[in-house]
Copies of this chain bind each other. A is one copy, B any other.
């Protein structure tokens, strides 16, 4: 099919008429499908049911160092868990704090602590007139929600195929002391599935921020989440790189097992330098006596070691790969040549990103919703939910069944066509 923009008005009108008929057909199906959030599907959750078996009433819940996991203590986590998660995060176990069930909570706490008490002796952010964060866009709505909640001004920085536009990042952090942080999902980014290039990571580690309390919030949520065995993105380990660059304290790195075992019942962690660690420990000891060590032990005994986790992630990949490929195939078949949108084909992570014609994203998502398919709200990938180009849509293919996903992605492609055709028709008429 030729590009919509090259069609005559009559051709477009005929196409729109056909698309509307097709859309009504979908509406009559009374679908209730959800492609909005990055949730594992039931089959993925089933992969971790063995977690429920590794501990029973006959188990010894004692760590190698003698810690009884059932009692109070171990503020930074049991050693076995720090080892396992250290391997997962590619960090030394000494640089790891194991937290509770949610890395989002760790990120919130990290911002909140900087807000109330400052970072390593600097002025608490609540005492400053202005605090700003850089937000690579499109990005993760829950990151933006944290900074928005704290009244932190968010400055969008465009993403490129190799990560955030680093010229701009370097310039902004160097010249504005109010910029205290940047949100990053460096590997299989949310929502594009982009992994930062070696050069990008090296430039991050060599940032020269005006603010001594500037930190990179490095959310490595999808470090283990490859879709393919033979095609995998690789990421330079940022803590080591910061150390090499003489900026050891520049980064807070976050991760969790939420999308490895059970979301909400996994373990989360932070990796950072000894200085930052000391700063955090001094706060954390006022906040809690320790996190859930039994669940830490459960995870360690389930995976045994990093090899066990890698094997486990292969099973996730086997479930997710067909879903990603189905969405991509549907978009390829339905949209190729029409010049009404582009989309990413990530090698891992939880999302596909669709970039529509400008001004169309809200309408596309709205149309899909009216036919029973929930997408992530248009605009969600931008700070304050305001996408100035109205062209960014996040597709989350993991949760629905393949059968549902076939329907949902077909409907989505149809909505893209319908909204785009109407827009182009209106422009031709104007």
Residue A403 at the chain B interface, CB threshold 8 Å: no
Q: Which residues of B contact A56 (CB under 8 A)?
A: 52-53, 56
From 45 to 61 in chain A, residues with beta carbon under 8 angstroms from any chain B beta carbon are: 45, 48-50, 52-53, 55-57, 59, 61
Residue A286 at the chain B interface, CB threshold 8 Å: yes
Judge whether A264 and B293 touch: CB under 8 Å.
yes
B interface footprint on A294-315 (CB within 8 Å = 1, 0 otherwise): 1100000000000000000000
The residue on B at minimum CB distance from A267 is B292
Q: Which residues of B contact A104 (CB under 8 A)?
A: 287-289
Residue A283 at the chain B interface, CB threshold 8 Å: yes
Judge whether A73 and B264 touch: CB under 8 Å.
yes
Taken together as a complex, chains A and B put the C-alpha atoms of A115 and B100 apart, in Å, by 23
Judge whether A265 and B39 touch: CB under 8 Å.
no
From B45, B101, B109, B288, A71 is in contact (CB under 8 Å) with B45
From B149, B263, B291, A101 is in contact (CB under 8 Å) with B291
Minimum CB–CB distance from A181 to chain B (whole Å) comes to: 16
Minimum CB–CB distance from A65 to chain B (whole Å) comes to: 16
B interface footprint on A30-43 (CB within 8 Å = 1, 0 otherwise): 00000001011010
Minimum CB–CB distance from A329 to chain B (whole Å) comes to: 27
Judge whether B264 and A71 touch: CB under 8 Å.
yes
Judge whether A289 and B263 touch: CB under 8 Å.
yes
Residue A69 at the chain B interface, CB threshold 8 Å: yes
Q: Which residues of B contact A73 (CB under 8 A)?
A: 264
Residue A120 at the chain B interface, CB threshold 8 Å: no
The residue on B at minimum CB distance from A100 is B100
Band of interface residues on A: 35 or more
B interface footprint on A113-143 (CB within 8 Å = 1, 0 otherwise): 0011100000010110000000000000010
Taken together as a complex, chains A and B put the C-alpha atoms of A219 and B109 apart, in Å, by 22
Residue A377 at the chain B interface, CB threshold 8 Å: no
Copies in the complex: 2
From B40, B115, B292, A292 is in contact (CB under 8 Å) with B292
The residue on B at minimum CB distance from A59 is B52
Q: Which residues of B contact A52 (CB under 8 A)?
A: 55-57, 59, 61
Residue A240 at the chain B interface, CB threshold 8 Å: no
Q: Which residues of B contact A49 (CB under 8 A)?
A: 57
Taken together as a complex, chains A and B put the C-alpha atoms of A262 and B291 apart, in Å, by 12
B interface footprint on A392-428 (CB within 8 Å = 1, 0 otherwise): 0000000000000000000000000000000000000
From B59, B127, B288, A105 is in contact (CB under 8 Å) with B288
Residue A157 at the chain B interface, CB threshold 8 Å: no
From B42, B57, B105, B116, A112 is in contact (CB under 8 Å) with B116
Judge whether A71 and B115 touch: CB under 8 Å.
no
Minimum CB–CB distance from A109 to chain B (whole Å) comes to: 8
Taken together as a complex, chains A and B put the C-alpha atoms of A126 and B294 apart, in Å, by 36
The residue on B at minimum CB distance from A399 is B71
Taken together as a complex, chains A and B put the C-alpha atoms of A419 and B255 apart, in Å, by 53
Given A57-B50, A126-B116, answer yes or no on A146-B295 (Cβ-Cβ < 8 Å).
Answer: no
Judge whether B286 and A264 touch: CB under 8 Å.
no
Judge whether A72 and B108 touch: CB under 8 Å.
no
Minimum CB–CB distance from A405 to chain B (whole Å) comes to: 17
Q: Which residues of B contact A37 (CB under 8 A)?
A: 72
Taken together as a complex, chains A and B put the C-alpha atoms of A71 and B40 apart, in Å, by 7
Residue A102 at the chain B interface, CB threshold 8 Å: yes
Given A53-B56, A116-B150, A265-B292, answer yes or no on A286-B72 (Cβ-Cβ < 8 Å).
Answer: no
The residue on B at minimum CB distance from A262 is B70
26 inter-chain pairs at a CB distance below 8 angstroms, sorted by A residue, are A39-B71, A40-B71, A42-B68, A45-B68, A45-B71, A52-B56, A52-B57, A69-B264, A70-B262, A71-B262, A71-B263, A71-B264, A72-B264, A100-B101, A100-B291, A102-B291, A105-B287, A105-B288, A108-B288, A115-B126, A116-B126, A146-B287, A149-B286, A263-B289, A264-B293, A265-B292
List 7 extra interface pairs beyond A37-B72, A104-B287, CB under 8 A. Answer: A39-B72, A52-B55, A100-B101, A100-B292, A102-B289, A263-B289, A264-B294
